[in-house]
Amino acid sequence: MSFESSCDETSVAIIEDGHKILSNIVATQIKSHQRFGGVVPEVASRHHIEEITICVDDAMREANVTYDDIDAIAVTYGPGLVGALLIGVTAAKTIAWAHDIPLIPVNHIAGHILAGRYVEKIEYPALALVVSGGHTELVLMPEEGEFKIIGETRDDAAGEAYDKVGRVLGINYPAGPKVDEMASKGKDTFDFPRAMEKDDNFDFSFSGLKSAFLNTTHHADQIKEKLNKDDLATSFQDAVVDVLVYKTKRALAKYPVHQLILAGGVAANHGLRSALDKAINDVPNTQLVKVPLKLCGDNAAMIGAAGYVLAKKNIFAGVNLNADPSLDF
Ligand code: KG4
Ligand code: ZN
């Protein structure tokens, strides 16, 4: 059994052997946060409290299991919103204690990456490009259970940039999927910057791109010029994807790996998926593992997959496990 409650989805899953999903219940709170244009931590915590036991019941019913069938309980304990994390951690600890079931502490990012286990057996060393609303990271995994961040965003996460430019285009939070759809219809006509592309590192920066986008739309508003929204979306997406792909290829050149895993909410992006499909052809002996669209966003099945790997390494927690909002690897 696994729990995920780090942001705005309450989720409980039952998985078997670390790669078979018996149930994966996701209660999304998106509607409650939309009117505020983003996730409100207090609102998120309240929803998690309301939803978590319902998710447990639904997950167990759908998987047709009782507590006697549960070998271990995996839970996200960070990074994320502290109040939100605490609900999942408390629920998982309570069930673990009451039914004497081992508890596994899982890093949310490890969960996103190891959702790749539902597609392929992970062959190490592997590299992961993790792109979500809170993170944009290149994570090297020399061996199973080992994670080393070799590059990350210096400012905004890619998903955060999508959500911010989407707001300017009049799209509800989370804007990523809609911007992605618009981008498939437009042309790259605006010359948006590719920040840090030529720098000798694996880091990213998206705040300059966001500002360039906002300046362009603001200027057009002032002179009452109507810009083509699809072209804006395409130009923005091409800039994001170019940098992500460029830096990933650079990392693959330095660290030869068996697999590249594309994970996180923004991994659902069609432009990014097809650009990496093409890019991987130039990288010999490396297989691209794309987390399935259904498992890119936050969900508990990915936490179960990571929990399985940690349990094999004998990593367990006691009832003193606490939420760690800024957890690192
Ligand atoms: O991983 P996730 O569900 O939550 C975090 O851990 O942050 O990622 C959510 C983010 C949001 O910013 C959302 O706009 C973005 O993923 N997203 C996308 C797409 N689908 C979701 N961004 C670009 N294209 C998409 N198709
Ligand atoms: Zn996430």
70: alpha, beta or left, given left = phi > 0 and alpha = psi -120 to 50? beta
pTM for this prediction:
0.96
pLDDT tier, 31 (very low <50, low <70, confident <90, very high otherwise): confident
Q: Is the peptide bond before 125 cis (omega within 30 degrees of 0)?
A: yes
Report pLDDT for 302: 98
d(CA 289, CA 308): 19
DSSP string computed for 155-199: S--HHHHHHHHHHHTTPPSS-HHHHHHHHTTS---S----TTTTS
Cα 118 off chain centre by:
15
Span 226-254, average pLDDT: 97
pLDDT tier, 82 (very low <50, low <70, confident <90, very high otherwise): very high
Name residue 105's beta-bridge partners: 75
Span 20-36, average pLDDT: 93
Per residue in 144-166, pLDDT (tens digit) is 999 999 999 999 999 999 999 99
CA 145 – ligand 1 centroid, Å: 25
Nearest CA to ligand 1 atom 3: 297
Span 189-214, average pLDDT: 94
d(CA 4, CA 304): 9
Average pLDDT over the chain reads 96
Neighbours of 36 (CB within 10 A): 10
Statement: residue 119 has pLDDT above 90: yes
Q: Is 176 in the pocket of ligand 1 (CB under 6 A)?
A: yes
Rounded percentage of the chain residues whose pLDDT exceeds 90: 95
Report pLDDT for 198: 82
pLDDT tier, 141 (very low <50, low <70, confident <90, very high otherwise): very high
DSSP string computed for 71-91: --EEEEEESS-HHHHHHHHHH
Report pLDDT for 30: 87
Report pLDDT for 148: 98
Report which ligand 1 atom has the smallest distance to the Cα of 112. 1
Q: What is the DSSP letter of 18?
A: T
Report pLDDT for 273: 98
Question: Which ipTM value was assigned to this complex?
Answer: 0.98
More confident residue, 121 or 199: 121
Report pLDDT for 35: 86
d(CA 243, CA 316): 38
Report which ligand 1 atom has the smallest distance to the Cα of 270. 26
The label of the residue with tokens 């500002």 reads: 211
CA 163 – ligand 1 centroid, Å: 8
Neighbours of 127 (CB within 10 A): 24
d(CA 60, CA 53): 11
Residues with CB under 5 A from ligand 2 (ion): 132, 298
Statement: residue 121 has pLDDT above 90: yes
Report which ligand 1 atom has the smallest distance to the Cα of 181. 26
Q: Is 151 in the pocket of ligand 1 (CB under 6 A)?
A: no
For the CA of 274, the nearest ligand = 1
Domains, the chain, in order of start with CATH, read 2-113+296-312 (3.30.420.40), 123-290 (3.30.420.40)
Report pLDDT for 37: 85
CA 210 – ligand 1 centroid, Å: 16
For the CA of 9, the nearest ligand = 1
Please enumerate, by residue number, every residue annotated as part of a binding site for Fe cation: 108, 112, 298
